[in-house]
């Protein structure tokens, strides 16, 4: 079973920031938080991952709470092409597959 819970769906206006929450209250000290997204009928696309510090790359920012029990993925300026299912996954860094939960279906609206 997935170790994360996410809202099933969210809407966001085009050009605004999309903030996608994820709860992972049972995360262990060595588990990372990964975010992937899946656009319809495509394979999952890596977005970002982190352990305890906040992370930022060209796609998004990842904010992890101090107790590490939850995190937020931020897409700073959502576009229509960001409409997808977003998966938050916790995983040890080495050797494991990814366990996908149902994710959050983000709809970016014009």
Binding site for other proteins (CB under 8 A): 2, 36, 38, 41-46, 87, 93-95, 97-103
Which residues, in sequence order, are bridge partners of residue 10?
Answer: 106
Between residues 61 and 105, which has the closer beta carbon with respect to other proteins? 105
Smallest gap from Cβ 102 to other proteins, in A, equals 5
Smallest gap from Cβ 26 to other proteins, in A, equals 19
Could you tell me which residues come within 8 angstroms of residue 38 by beta carbon, excluding any fewer than 6 positions away?
Answer: 44, 45, 84, 85, 87, 103
Between residues 75 and 87, which has the closer beta carbon with respect to other proteins? 87
């Amino acid at each position: 079973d997935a170790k994360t819970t996410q809202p099933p769906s969210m809407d966001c206006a085009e050009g605004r920031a999309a903030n996608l929450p994820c709860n992972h209250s049972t995360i262990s000290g060595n588990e990372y938080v990964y975010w992937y997204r899946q656009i319809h009928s495509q394979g999952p696309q890596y977005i970002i991952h982190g352990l305890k510090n906040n992370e930022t790359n060209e796609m998004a920012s990842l904010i992890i709470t101090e107790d590490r029990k939850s995190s937020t993925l931020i897409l700073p300026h959502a576009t229509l092409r960001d409409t997808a299912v977003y998966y938050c996954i916790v995983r040890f860094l080495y050797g494991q597959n990814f366990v996908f939960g149902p994710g959050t279906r983000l709809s970016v609206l014009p």
